[in-house]
A and B are shown apart, each in its own frame.
Chain A
Amino acid sequence: MKKFFGRGRDISLAPNYILLILLVAFALGPIVILGFNSLKEAADIGRNPLGPPTTFHWENFPKAWEVGNFSTTTRNSLILVLGTVSSVLLLGGMAAYALARLKLPGGSVLMLYLLVGSSLPVQLFLVPLFFLWRQLGLVNNLLGLIIIYVAVHSPFAIFLLRSYLVGIPPDFEDAARVDGANEWQVFTIIILPLSWPAFLTVGLVVALGVWNEFLLATVFLTQQNLFTVVTSYYNFTSRFSRDWSLTSAAAIMMIAPILIVFLSLQRRFIAGLTQGGLKG
Chain B
Amino acid sequence: MANTIENAGTAPGAPVAPIRRGSPWNRRYRKYMIPWMFALPIVLINIIVVIGPSLSAFYYSLTDWSGIGPADFIGLENFRHLIFDDMDYRRAFLNNLGWLTFFLTVPFAFSLFAASVLARIQRGSMFFRTSLFVPYVLPAVITASIWRNLMSPTLGIGAQLAKWGVPGLDKAFLGQPHTALVSIAFVDNWHFWGFLMVLFLAAMQNIPPELYEAARIDGASRWQEFRYITVPGIRPTIVFMLLMVAIWSFLVFDYVWILTQGGPAGASEVMGTLVYKQAFMRFEAGYASAIGLSMSFFAGLVIALFLYLRRRGWEI
The chain A residues found within 8 Å of chain B, CB to CB, are 5, 7-9, 11, 13, 16-17, 19-20, 23-24, 26-28, 30-31, 33-34, 37, 45-46, 49-50, 91-92, 94-95, 97-99, 102-105, 110, 113-114, 117, 119-132, 134, 147-148, 150-152, 154-155, 158, 170, 174, 177-183, 187, 208, 211-212, 214-215, 219, 230, 233-234, 237, 244, 247, 251, 254-255, 258-259, 262-263, 266, 269-270, 273-274, 277, 279-280
Q: A20-B128, A123-B253, A212-B139 are in contact. List 16 more A-B contacts (CB 8 A).
A: A26-B190, A27-B134, A34-B142, A46-B154, A97-B38, A113-B43, A119-B303, A125-B53, A126-B53, A128-B60, A131-B68, A152-B49, A183-B38, A215-B253, A244-B155, A273-B136
The chain B residues found within 8 Å of chain A, CB to CB, are 1, 4-5, 7-8, 11-15, 31-32, 34-36, 38-39, 41-43, 45-46, 48-54, 56-57, 60, 67-68, 114, 117-118, 120-122, 124, 128-142, 145-147, 149-150, 152, 154-157, 159-160, 190, 192, 194-195, 198-199, 202, 209, 212-213, 216, 244, 247-248, 250-251, 253-254, 257-258, 271-272, 275-276, 279-280, 285, 288-289, 291-293, 295-296, 299, 303
Cβ–Cβ contact A16 & B38, under 8 A? no
Given A24-B132, A49-B160, A269-B137: A7 in contact with B213 (beta carbons within 8 A): yes
Cβ–Cβ contact A45 & B155, under 8 A? yes
**Partner among B12, B36, B131, B291 whose Cβ is within 8 Å of the Cβ of A24:** B131
| Cα separation A215 to B45 with both chains bound (whole Å) | 20
SS class of chain B's interface: helix, strand, loop or mixed?
A: helix
| Cα separation A45 to B5 with both chains bound (whole Å) | 70
Query: What residues of chain B lie closer than 8 Å to A182, measured between beta carbons?
Result: 8, 14-15
Cβ–Cβ contact B251 & A122, under 8 A? yes
Given A130-B279, A255-B142: A152 in contact with B50 (beta carbons within 8 A): yes
| Cα separation A151 to B53 with both chains bound (whole Å) | 12
Cβ–Cβ contact B292 & A214, under 8 A? no
Cβ–Cβ contact A237 & B139, under 8 A? no
Count of A-B residue pairs with CB < 8 Å = 286
In whole Å, how far is A215's beta carbon from the nearest beta carbon of chain B? 5
SS class of chain A's interface: helix, strand, loop or mixed?
A: helix
Given A123-B253, A214-B258: A151 in contact with B8 (beta carbons within 8 A): no
Query: What residues of chain A lie closer than 8 Å to B14, measured between beta carbons?
Result: 180, 182
Cβ–Cβ contact B32 & A105, under 8 A? yes
Given A151-B46, A270-B198: A259 in contact with B11 (beta carbons within 8 A): no
Cβ–Cβ contact B155 & A98, under 8 A? no
| Cα separation A166 to B131 with both chains bound (whole Å) | 33
Cβ–Cβ contact A251 & B142, under 8 A? yes
